[in-house]
Structure 1
């Protein structure tokens, strides 16, 4: 893939992503404090897949700001769909990643704003207002939580820490229990907080050794993938077979345990 040319103002987009993620997260907090009054709907027949008026309002807010600042850029959002996906720069947004946590009063949700340039994750910002943390990074510039540099764990075995894992969508969930059995058999321990963006950021920060999801959507991980790469982590071939739109099985990990986790998952990871 081509590197971003100097004609693209990467720094302006990086600065905007950080500022906008923080502003959107504070907007989210105003809804979160009044969550008992929120209108919550279910997507299709899946009672676990919920969306609130807060999701839609925050995505509209982010989308309008980006369209004003960078009208030539494309957009892909969880709630409002896509536009101009053939553009060189495409923003990939999750207004509230962890909506089920959000509506149930659990402090495990965030705002995730990522940017693809020529099809490659180039920068990202993940704002967690409950813990006053902004995870952010840009290719070639490192990754940070607030002002602290991120670095993946130096562990060489899953028994040396926690592994994030989860399953949600029907596609692929049959692989979840077999993976957990193998992880536990190897002395590992699993962790799940309901937010793919945050768990990816936690791998980049060395808090988790890795994170496996039987199926994840791109808006849940796009911003985090930049952090992971800059922090020294590894990821599977997530974007294959139109993964940007459809989603795919997902594995991110520190180099010392990536292969161990991939072998536990087996052929379904990149099949």
Structure 2
């Protein structure tokens, strides 16, 4: 998808929304750290699959973000992992994951973050990903670049999968049959893989050049929307994630630096742009 950035005449205050995303992501991440330090006391629920969990921290942080959005941008729409959607026909729709990497969070691993992204006219427009364990705020806005804290991001210059690490992952209900064949192909080409449990962070790491690419057999929009902006602004490539109601249903997902995108897409095969069921 391509778009022309909204102008002042559009009546959208992009500066205010960008500042808001960064500020609230940091505040929510600080809340998350308080829960993280006392995680053994959290009530945990399963969402139908033993690996798909939610805690009180997820719910209360999403409620905090949603309250902040209602107070500052009441006309904007909202899609959250835990509390559903509202006003999805609005020009501006916020897509939120209060804790991306909940399984890591609950098990004392540092691979979790808060992800806040904004769609404008259906296009990923700005995003903020706050990682309190490493004091990193990844953020970007269409046409303005992408950054970690104040440092500009740029994707890797790798030209072959053997020249770096590729992030990867899968989801139990959909698409898992494509996971092992991809890993076999990647290893056969001399590549190596990493799975850290947070789609938002692995996407941000592609934008930062730490990973050369990231493939997920099926990902949800709240796990990646903020990061998609960062990858594009850092010079990376993305697949057509939003096709076939990807915003609500999820889809196969690939982001990568230009030098390896086609190679990774070929290793994935037709499932990247086809059905995953």
Question: Aligning the two structures, in what range does the TM-score lie when normalised by the shorter sequence?
Answer: over 0.9
Moved over 4 A (4+): none
> Which one of the candidate residues 229, 241, 246 is aligned to 1:243?
246
| Superposed CA offset, 1:128-153 (max 9, x none) | 00000000000011000000000000
* 8 Å CA contact 2:5, 2:142 repeated in 1: no
| 2:113 is aligned with 1:110 | yes
CA–CA separation in structure 2 for the residues paired with 1:28 and 1:107: 12
CA–CA separation in structure 2 for the residues paired with 1:110 and 1:168: 19
- Alignment-derived partner of residue 17 in structure 2: 13
Pairing of 1:124-139 with structure 2 (within 5 A) = 124-139=127-142
How far apart are 1:169 and its partner, in Å? 3.4
Q: How many residues align?
A: 270
> Which one of the candidate residues 126, 130, 133 is aligned to 1:123?
126
CA–CA separation in structure 2 for the residues paired with 1:161 and 1:269: 21
Pairing of 1:18-167 with structure 2 (within 5 A) = 18-44=22-48, 46-167=49-170
Task: Tell me the C-alpha RMSD between the 2 structures.
Answer: 0.6
**Unmatched runs of 5 consecutive residues or more in structure 1:** none
Structure 1 counterpart SS, 2:85: strand
Structure 2 counterpart SS, 1:240: coil
How far apart are 1:3 and its partner, in Å? 3.3
Task: Sort the Cα spacing of 1:2 and 1:231 in 2 relative to 1 into closer, same or farther, 3 A.
Answer: closer
CA–CA separation in structure 1 for the residues paired with 2:47 and 2:173: 13
> Which one of the candidate residues 252, 255, 260 is aligned to 2:255?
252
Structure 2 counterpart SS, 1:241: coil
| Superposed CA offset, 1:206-238 (max 9, x none) | 000000000000000000000000000000000
CA–CA separation in structure 2 for the residues paired with 1:236 and 1:147: 28
| Superposed CA offset, 1:167-219 (max 9, x none) | 02321100000000000000000001000000000000000000000000000
